[in-house]
Structure 1
Amino acid sequence: MEQRVTTIISHIAASHREMSRILETHRSVSSQMATIASDIPDSHPHFDGVGMLQEQALQLTKNITAYLNSLANLEEAIAQQTEIVMKEMKDPEDEE
Structure 2
Amino acid sequence: MQKLLTEVAVHLSHSHQHMARILDAKRQIAVRMSQMVTAIPDMHPDLSGLDGLLEGSADVTKNIIAYVVGLADMQDALADSLEQIVKAANIPDEE
Regarding TM over 0.5, the answer is yes
Amino acid at match of 2:87: K
Residue 43 of structure 1 deviates from its aligned partner by 3.0
Is 1:14 the counterpart of 2:19? The answer is no
Number of the residue aligned with 2:5: 5
Instruction: Give the number of aligned pairs.
Output: 92
Are 1:82 and 2:82 counterparts?
yes
Percentage identity across paired residues of the two chains: 34
After superposition, residues 7-86 of structure 1 pair within 5 angstroms as 7-86=7-86
- Secondary structure, counterpart of 2:48 in structure 1: coil
Deviations 1:21-74 (CA, angstroms, capped at 9, x unpaired): 110110110000010011112232122111111101001000100000000000
Q: Counterparts of 2:27 and 2:18 in 1: how far apart (Å)?
A: 14
TM-score w.r.t. length of structure 1:
0.90
Aligned residue type for 2:16:
H
Q: Which structure is higher in helix share?
A: 1
**RMSD (Å), alpha carbons:** 1.4
Amino acid across the alignment from 1:39: A
Which deviates the most, 82-91 or 24-33?
82-91
